[in-house]
Amino acid sequence: MGALRNITAALGLLSAAGIGETVYFYNRTMKRGNAKTERTTKMSGTDWEKYFPLMEERKEFVMAQPHRDVYITSFDGLKLHGTYFPSLNPKEADGGKIVICFHGYTGEGLSNHVAIADYFLKRGYAMLMPDARAHGESEGQYIGFGCLDRQDALGWIGWAVQECGEDVRIMLHGTSMGGATVLMASGLELPPNVKGIVSDCGFTSPKEVFTHVLHKMYHLPAFPAIQGADLLNRKLAGYGMDECNARREVRRAKVPILFIHGSADTFVPCSMCHEIYDNCRSPKRMLIVEGASHAESYYKDMAAYEKALTEFAETIQMDADGKTAQEE
């Protein structure tokens, strides 16, 4: 009897420890305010300080251009915020081209895209930079990790069509969680205005990327934290952590996709990019930037990145009035 009581007590302690680990993990990663930018930056392994001068230079140009705050209401009633830059090319003002840029985990739309905005604005694109739910000025308590954000993306696409005209050509661009968002959106019925998708270091699903982080960075087992967080998230946020997986969604994709990833990414391993790419059923391209860590590809090799964007835009005919590759 004594041994049985000891075993029961030990199991009780393990169960309590498991619950505690799950709640701690969930609160740190899935809830607004607890998911810290500083912690995410440290985990990503990217030395951003060396790029600050470039960012400041680009920011000065970008913020001097006309722009305004815009808002939509999400499918579940949240007020979502974005920053909109009209095209600098008067010929693109009506029925031209726009890129919608989706930022990463713990980021914000405008601050995360000031560098690459220089490329898009100088090439005649209008730009829309939304704050993801539970980020920036957008409402929400629980982070969507692409699973909910892909539905928000549909709302922003609708806004862009209404703002820029029925003939507007749309490119979706996302980095990290934003990359997962646009890949997950590829499996939806997108309007014909969406001509192409660019995913920079996107992951397969929150379950798989957090399992990787626990194993590789913290040397901890995924059980019970991931399974417990999945149960909590279904109850609180309304979605499972592998309910939407980019690897599965791209099997239904019809829009051309450009995949970009850094070979030295330890936060979202480059193997995820190859895995998603191999499952993609739409026209596709891939750029692996050697030596780039998480979300560093644009800064590590700007020439290769911009060349890939320009060639992709030509392929999907962002500058043409004719049919795009997926329409032919």
Lowest-pLDDT choice from 5-9, 24-28, 208-212, 276-280? 5-9
State the average pLDDT over residues 203-215: 91
**Residue with the larger pLDDT of the pair 216 and 155:** 155
Nearest to 155 by CA among 138, 141, 142, 143: 138
pLDDT band at 218 (very low <50, low <70, confident <90, very high): low
Residue 327 has a pLDDT of 40
For the cut 80, the answer to whether the pLDDT of residue 140 exceeds it is yes
pLDDT by residue (tens digit) across 292-326?
999 999 999 999 999 999 999 999 989 754 343 33
Residue 220 has a pLDDT of 65
Answer left, alpha or beta for residue 320, where phi above 0 means left and psi between -120 and 50 means alpha. beta
Name the pTM for this structure. Answer: 0.89
Residue 95 has a pLDDT of 59
State the average pLDDT over residues 120-148: 97
For the cut 70, the answer to whether the pLDDT of residue 272 exceeds it is yes
